[in-house]
Amino acid sequence: MGGSARRAHAHAPATLSNLGCGFDVLGLALEAPGDEVVASIASGRGVVAVGVTGEEAGVPGDPTRNSAALAAQAVIDRSGLDAGVEILLRKGIPFASGLGGSAASAVAGALATDELLGSRLDGGALLECALQGELSGSGSEAADNVAASLTGGLVLALPGRPPVVVRLPAPAGLAVAVARPHLEVETRVARELLGAEITLAAGVRQWGNTAGLVAGLFREEWELIARCLRDEVAEPVRAGLVPGFREAKAAALRAGSLGAGLSGSGPAVFALCRGRNAAECAADAMQKAFGEHSGLGCDAFVSAADAPGARIVPESTGALAGDDARTPPRASQL
């Protein structure tokens, strides 16, 4: 344990996943909200205690079920140290909101514990540790949320172990509008609804759109991006889980967004937009539509599409990390 700190503090951002056509393989980090973990040395072995504050409703405090704690335990196991660690998880991301909350907790848990123990795992190992936490939180082995939260920006997370993560370019000005109706949809439940098979015709449309979206991002072709932001697989099945979703999506499209859909399993809805002003309009339109058609309260906000990923927060300030922050892993390092 020589040279290790007594406490370490990490922040990990919320994320969108799927982005319409990219079920389980596309993710995007948001500027806010995010989850934070403060990890401290404690007596005992492994993760000995977990505290949860903030948006804690629904988040398990049991170390064997908490995604931050499970990711922290995975880091301890990989480091080979005989360490005891206590986790304080500050939830900024509401439970079951479709914004990658369990993934952000897991990423922050892995990063804070790695910093605490001085184990300096590489990006790929941190990703694997965070995925162990995410699996317990969402029931999904997909790396879409975890990879985007760890590296920031827009990512393609190819399935497999270890997952291959490719950072995608965000054309200048690409912005995101998000509306989060006050409702919980558990990813585990929303995944069970999907079943195990799709038709060949739906598959052809979906992989055509995924390839087209990636090409559109590289070529900065707004029309191609807009044409391909469609989900033929999950959204038709899940749309009914979120009252007001169809109206909110239609409102975002009328407001001029490139395309819109459920973020992950919802209930959050995203719209990709050309420019921050356009994203503000889409966010307002979706918020109003949820109010009118579902009666649900709804938060709405915007983000750049190239937001930063997870980082260590200097303990001396308690503020989010600045220039002296540890550089997060780039997708090419995963």
Q: For ligand HSE, give the closer residue by CB, 24 or 86.
A: 24
Q: For ligand HSE, give the closer residue by CB, 20 or 63.
A: 20
Question: Which tokens in the block code for residue 277?
Answer: 């002003």
Task: Give the Cα separation of 223 and 245 in Å (integer).
Answer: 24
214: DSSP letter: H
State how far the alpha carbon of 104 is from the alpha carbons of 35, 110, 152, 215, 309, in Å.
6, 10, 11, 28, 10
In the complex, what is the shortest distance from the CB of residue 189 to ligand HSE, in angstroms, rounded to a whole number? Answer: 10
Q: For ligand HSE, give the closer residue by CB, 17 or 151.
A: 17
In the complex, what is the shortest distance from the CB of residue 157 to ligand HSE, in angstroms, rounded to a whole number? Answer: 9
Instruction: Identify the burial level of 284 via C-beta atoms within 10 angstroms of its C-beta, where 0-12 means exposed, 13-18 middle and 19 or more buried.
Output: middle
Q: For ligand HSE, give the closer residue by CB, 83 or 229.
A: 229
Q: For ligand HSE, give the closer residue by CB, 145 or 294.
A: 145
Q: Which residues in this chain contact ligand HSE in the complex, by CB under 6 A?
A: 17-18, 24, 138, 140, 142, 144-145, 187, 191, 234, 264-265
In the complex, what is the shortest distance from the CB of residue 123 to ligand HSE, in angstroms, rounded to a whole number? Answer: 19
Task: Give the Cα separation of 289 and 298 in Å (integer).
Answer: 10
Q: For ligand HSE, give the closer residue by CB, 78 or 191.
A: 191
Task: Give the Cα separation of 185 and 95 in Å (integer).
Answer: 9
Q: Is the dihedral of CA 74, 76, 80, 83 positive or negative?
A: negative
Q: Give the count of beta carbons closer than 10 Å to the beta carbon of residue 19.
A: 30
The strand ranges marked E within the chain are 7-17, 26-41, 46-54, 84-91, 154-158, 164-168, 174-181, 259-262, 269-274, 298-304, 311-312
Across the beta sheet with 174-181, the strand order is: 259-262, 269-274, 174-181, 298-304
Q: For ligand HSE, give the closer residue by CB, 158 or 172.
A: 158
State how far the alpha carbon of 8 is from the alpha carbons of 64, 155, 310, in Å.
21, 27, 13
Q: Which of 170, 139, 221 is nearest to 26 (CA)?
A: 170
In the complex, what is the shortest distance from the CB of residue 66 to ligand HSE, in angstroms, rounded to a whole number? Answer: 17
In the complex, what is the shortest distance from the CB of residue 318 to ligand HSE, in angstroms, rounded to a whole number? Answer: 30
- 118 φ/ψ angles, rounded to the nearest 5 degrees: 65, 25
Q: For ligand HSE, give the closer residue by CB, 99 or 278.
A: 99
In the complex, what is the shortest distance from the CB of residue 224 to ligand HSE, in angstroms, rounded to a whole number? Answer: 23
Question: Which tokens in the block code for residue 212?
Answer: 């087209």
In the complex, what is the shortest distance from the CB of residue 165 to ligand HSE, in angstroms, rounded to a whole number? Answer: 13
In the complex, what is the shortest distance from the CB of residue 291 to ligand HSE, in angstroms, rounded to a whole number? Answer: 25
